[in-house]
Amino acid sequence: MQNVFREFIFILFYRSRLIIAVFLVVFIVSLVMAVTLPSVYRSTAKFSLVIPQSFDPLQQESSMDYRNRVRRFLQDQKELITSNRVLTRVVQEIYPGIKQQSAITKKVNELRENLDVVPPGGESFEGSSVFIVEFSDNSPTFAAKVTTSVTDNYLAIYREISQGKTTYSHSFFQEQTEKLQKDMQEKESKVRDFETKQALALLEILNLGDNKSNAEVGPNALLTQFLRNYHELQTELAGLQASIAALERESNQSGVPAVLPEMEVTGRAITVFKNKVAQLQIQLNEMKPQFRANFEPMKQVEQELKLSVDSLKTEMKRVISAQKISANSIKARIGQLEKTIQGLKDRIQTIAQEKVNYQALLQEFNIAKEAYTRTQAQMEQARMAQSLNQDKQFLTLIDRPSVPVKPYKPNRILLVLGGLLAGIFLGIAAALTVDQFDHHTKTIYGIEKQLNVPVLGSIPSL
């Protein structure tokens, strides 16, 4: 560490000429800048925009809402001050000889570059209701003149805008709000009347809404049930008609009729007659090979077989009659179901139509409500604009512009001190940099280190 410090001190003395040269160059440049830079003067005007929290008696706002509203108003004032509307009047007032629009626009842009609207130092538009209009120029008189013109024209245009807002509106929007409120109440009354008169239908309408299933609710459920019963009866009727046709065909043909398997039930007469006919046929078939045709017992069997067949056919006709009665009953039930199903379909169609009507009423009500809400908000804005018309109460000019006495920049003392410090540090930095890239041996210690030979002495330079 001691060697490094010793080497640093050596570099300072060894490169002292370079350090002094760099220091003098930087210091002289900063001194020249401090002397030759033109003075810039700033003229200011201070305003206060007071917006009390009782600004709108119909609204109770929090502190955050109030601060946000103040910030928006102050930002609006900044935009108004730097607008073409204000600056064009300023240019026409300061430069009355300029008539061309291009020249006026050029001057407006030049003024806008040096014009600014800022809150007090260290604050923001959210924390302060005070704002300052600043204009900078090399001439203090011109700076004060422009700031005064901007202030006067800004106040004049602010009053024009406030009066214009007030003229347009509060009564107009109040009248529109009353009309829309009446229209909205009429639409709401129609919706309520529909809901009262069509209470049962409304339940079905609500079940017909999006992402809802009403398969088990109301007429749809009944329609599903009756359609299922209808198809079951149709199937049963078709089976009965087929059975009747088969029985009639068997009962009308000669010989022993065939009995359907589903008709064979233990204890029924038709089953008894069928079994008896079968036994007699077996008995007769056994007797025919053994006896003659005129054999008396065989004749008795034939006679009994004939009577049994007649009884079987009679029983089959009775069954046919019973099945026809059942078929007619089923047909009557089917006819009644068809009427009921048609009535349910008509009911469902009616509900669908009522749904369309209900949705139309709701849509009209929502449109009227939205228009009423929008107009009511505009009426509140109109009330705020009407309150803003009291500009003396809310917008106040605290300090009028004056001719500045001292320039606010450049800071000549700071420039000289900065040049002094910069010259010292840059000189040292230049010396260290040059020494870093200089590979010559500068001391006897370097020679001793390079040659590895002890140095006995040195002769001072003459």
Running along the chain, 462 residues long, what does each successive block of 10 average in pLDDT?
71 82 89 84 86 49 62 81 90 88 90 87 67 89 91 88 60 78 84 70 56 52 77 80 70 56 50 61 64 65 65 69 80 83 76 74 85 81 61 71 85 87 88 77 66 68 52
Q: Which helix (H) or strand (E) holds 135?
A: strand 130-137
Q: Cα–Cα distance between 436 and 439 in angstroms, integer? A: 8
Q: Cα–Cα distance between 50 and 160 in angstroms, integer? A: 19
Distance (Å) of CA 13 to CA 16, 26, 27, 427, 435: 5, 20, 20, 12, 12
pLDDT score at 181: 83
Tell me the Cα Rg of the chain.
57
Question: Which residue matches tokens 């103040």?
Answer: 70
The bridge status of strand 395-399 relative to strand 41-49 is antiparallel
DSSP letter (8 states) at residue 130: E
With a CB cutoff of 8 Å and minimum separation 6, the contacts of 296 are none
Q: Cα–Cα distance between 296 and 307 in angstroms, integer? A: 17
With a CB cutoff of 8 Å and minimum separation 6, the contacts of 31 are 415, 416, 419
Q: Which helix (H) or strand (E) holds 134?
A: strand 130-137
φ/ψ of residue 314, rounded to 5: -60, -45
pLDDT score at 175: 80
Per-domain residue ranges of the chain: 11-170+386-445, 218-378
Q: Cα–Cα distance between 363 and 164 in angstroms, integer? A: 36
Specify which residues 94 forms β-bridges with.
Answer: none
pTM, full prediction = 0.43
DSSP letter string, 387-399: HHT-HHHHEEEEE
Q: Cα–Cα distance between 405 and 141 in angstroms, integer? A: 10
φ/ψ of residue 82, rounded to 5: -90, 10
pLDDT score at 392: 42
